């Protein structure tokens, strides 16, 4: 691969920095973000950090590569890492519904908690509403960070954020969810005939009557019952969201954008970089996964010409290999053009390029090898 004029991203220096307590990987789906997060967590642990890795819906083979039968909402030790440097690694997968349940049980009275947890509207909110997963990732991150500072179990939290359809939805999720829960309509449903709203009694009867016809009487009753029980938690959601978001912008957090050398992925990565910069979030740099390279200095055109020369011979295996090489060189040239455009708009952002080795990450040695390739600071993939 031709060298790209960009500052290298020294992830080892970041992983070794005791001032960094939270490392967040973000990017679109399908770019290797979850695997990159796990690889960096493993690398940090084997260099002496006490790490917990919070992943979002990882592939089963990733859990197996960590030596864990399955991941759930509880941090579990990864038993087979090299702990000779004094580090440790726990891994977990966000369970959105369980995290929401834990928030309710922690911050509501037993009576209110039971009313909330058994309410059909809550069941829909905690499993299906847009933004809930992102918000619960923020809740879990805040919980882990508080625990880390309280008992010292971890000194680094590595977070794999949910794939976002627009850049960094998880940064906006707390605001979206608290706006929903604190919205005017829900408050009207909660107290349609109290205080100054008494003069609107007839009008509100018309509104609730119309809603009842649209939603169904039982659904409206479920919503009203839920809001009444949930009222005491409104402020807590907003306050925790503000604290966690402030921590994300602080000196103890850093972000790593993960991409692959495709047009869509690099477009999303550019948007992530720009959004982080606009939000004044601490951006460490970009990891571009699965970059292809060739050790054979033979252009696509020359390989095609040589293959054509062999058309009338019995050297068909060589002809096939030349055509494969020509196709790979076309792919490499395309990636180079795309990466060149990406660098043109992110020239000052440190970047590392991870060469594609054509194999899945299915065990700890493979994850360790990926970590090495990711943290390598060479200028060529």
Model confidence over 309-356: pLDDT tens digits?
888 888 888 888 888 888 888 888 999 999 999 999 999 999 999 988
pLDDT in tens, 15-32: 999 999 999 998 888 898
Contact between 27 and 265 (Cβ < 8 Å):
yes
Contact between 93 and 71 (Cβ < 8 Å):
yes
* Confidence class for position 251, pLDDT limits 50, 70, 90: very high
d(CA 42, CA 61): 16
Least Cα distance to 163 among 31, 23, 36 occurs for 31
Least Cα distance to 275 among 131, 135, 351, 168 occurs for 168
Structure tokens at 102: 């834990």
- pLDDT reported for residue 228: 72
Q: Give the CA dihedral 217, 219, 225, 231, nearest 10 degrees.
A: -130
Q: Which range among 132-141, 186-195, 305-314, 332-341 shows the weakest confidence by mean pLDDT?
A: 186-195
What SS3 class is residue 9?
Answer: coil
- Note every long-range contact of 338-342, with CB atoms under 8 Å and residues 24 or more positions apart, other chains counting: 338/261, 338/262, 338/263, 338/266, 339/4, 339/261, 339/266, 339/288, 339/291, 340/4, 341/266, 342/259, 342/266, 342/269, 342/270
pLDDT in tens, 209-243: 444 443 444 656 676 677 777 766 766 777 777 78
Structure tokens at 294: 């060739």
Of 132-141, 182-191, 285-294, which one has max mean pLDDT?
A: 285-294
For 336, what's the count of Cα atoms within 13 Å in the CB-facing half-sphere?
15
Least Cα distance to 121 among 100, 95, 136 occurs for 100
Q: Which range among 33-47, 146-160, 236-250 shows the weakest confidence by mean pLDDT?
A: 236-250
For 173, what's the count of Cα atoms within 13 Å in the CB-facing half-sphere?
24
- In eight-state DSSP terms, residue 101 is H
What SS3 class is residue 26?
Answer: strand
Which residues contact residue 242 at a Cβ distance below 8 angstroms, ignoring those fewer than 6 apart?
174
* Confidence class for position 156, pLDDT limits 50, 70, 90: very high
- pLDDT reported for residue 235: 65
**Mean of all residue pLDDT scores within the chain:** 80
Which residues contact residue 116 at a Cβ distance below 8 angstroms, ignoring those fewer than 6 apart?
104, 108, 122, 226, 229, 230
- pLDDT reported for residue 236: 74
Is pLDDT of 272 > 60?
A: yes
- pLDDT reported for residue 1: 38
Farthest CA pair distance, the chain: 94
Least Cα distance to 53 among 61, 42, 62 occurs for 42
d(CA 273, CA 256): 9
- pLDDT reported for residue 92: 92
pLDDT in tens, 38-73: 999 999 999 999 999 998 766 666 777 787 877 889
Is pLDDT of 118 > 60?
A: yes
Measured in whole angstroms, the distance separating CA 91 from the mean position of its chain's CA atoms is 15
Q: Where are the beta strands (DSSP E) in 45-144?
A: 50-55, 76-77, 88-93
Is pLDDT of 206 > 70?
A: no
d(CA 75, CA 94): 10
Region label for 24, one of left (φ > 0), alpha (ψ between -120 and 50) or beta (otherwise)? beta
pTM as predicted: 0.82
d(CA 363, CA 360): 9
- pLDDT reported for residue 50: 98
Residues forming beta bridges with residue 76, ordered by sequence position: 91
For 133, what's the count of Cα atoms within 13 Å in the CB-facing half-sphere?
16
Q: Which range among 91-100, 220-229, 268-277, 343-352 shows the weakest confidence by mean pLDDT?
A: 220-229
Is pLDDT of 144 > 60?
A: yes
- pLDDT reported for residue 5: 54
Q: Which range among 186-195, 269-278, 309-318 shows the weakest confidence by mean pLDDT?
A: 186-195
What percentage of the chain has pLDDT greater than the value 70? 78
- pLDDT reported for residue 215: 41
Least Cα distance to 279 among 134, 182, 170, 164 occurs for 170
- pLDDT reported for residue 181: 57
Q: Span 110-124, mean pLDDT?
A: 86
Q: Span 278-305, mean pLDDT?
A: 88
What percentage of the chain has pLDDT greater than the value 90? 35
- pLDDT reported for residue 378: 46
- pLDDT reported for residue 75: 93
């Amino acid at each position: 691969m031709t060298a790209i004029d960009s500052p290298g991203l020294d992830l080892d220096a970041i992983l070794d920095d005791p001032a960094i307590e939270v490392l967040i990987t973000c990017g679109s789906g399908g770019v290797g973000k979850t695997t990159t997060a796990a690889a960096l967590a493993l690398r940090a642990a084997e260099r002496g950090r006490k790490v917990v890795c919070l992943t979002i819906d990882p592939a089963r083979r990733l859990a197996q590569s960590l030596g864990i039968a399955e991941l759930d909402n509880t941090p579990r030790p990864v038993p087979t890492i090299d702990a000779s440097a004094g580090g440790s690694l726990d891994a977990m997968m966000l369970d959105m519904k369980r995290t929401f349940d834990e928030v309710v049980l922690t911050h509501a009275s037993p009576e209110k908690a039971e009313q909330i947890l058994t309410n059909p509207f809550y069941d829909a909110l905690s499993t299906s509403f847009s933004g809930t997963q992102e918000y619960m990732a923020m809740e879990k991150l805040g919980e882990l960070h508080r625990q880390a500072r309280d008992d010292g179990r971890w000194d680094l939290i590595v977070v794999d954020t949910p794939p976002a359809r627009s850049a960094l939805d998880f940064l906006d999720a707390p605001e979206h969810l608290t706006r929903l829960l604190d919205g005017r309509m829900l408050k009207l449903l909660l107290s349609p005939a109290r205080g100054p709203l008494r003069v609107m009694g007839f009008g509100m009867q018309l509104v609730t009557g119309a809603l009842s016809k649209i939603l169904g009487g039982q659904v409206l009753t479920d919503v009203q019952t839920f809001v009444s029980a949930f009222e005491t938690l409104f402020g807590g959601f907003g306050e925790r969201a503000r604290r966690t978001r402030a921590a994300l912008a602080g000196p103890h957090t850093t972000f790593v954008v993960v991409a692959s050398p495709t047009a869509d992925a690099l477009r999303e990565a550019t948007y992530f970089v720009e959004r982080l910069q606009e939000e004044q979030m601490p951006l460490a740099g970009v990891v571009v996964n699965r970059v292809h390279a060739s050790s054979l200095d033979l252009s696509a055109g020359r390989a095609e010409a040589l293959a054509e020369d062999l058309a009338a011979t019995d050297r068909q295996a060589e002809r096939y290999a030349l055509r494969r090489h020509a196709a790979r060189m076309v792919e490499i040239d395309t990636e180079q053009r795309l990466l060149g455009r990406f660098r043109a708009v992110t020239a000052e952002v440190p970047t590392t390029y991870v060469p594609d080795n054509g194999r899945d990450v299915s065990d700890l040695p493979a994850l360790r090898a990926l970590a090495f390739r990711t943290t390598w600071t060479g200028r060529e993939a």
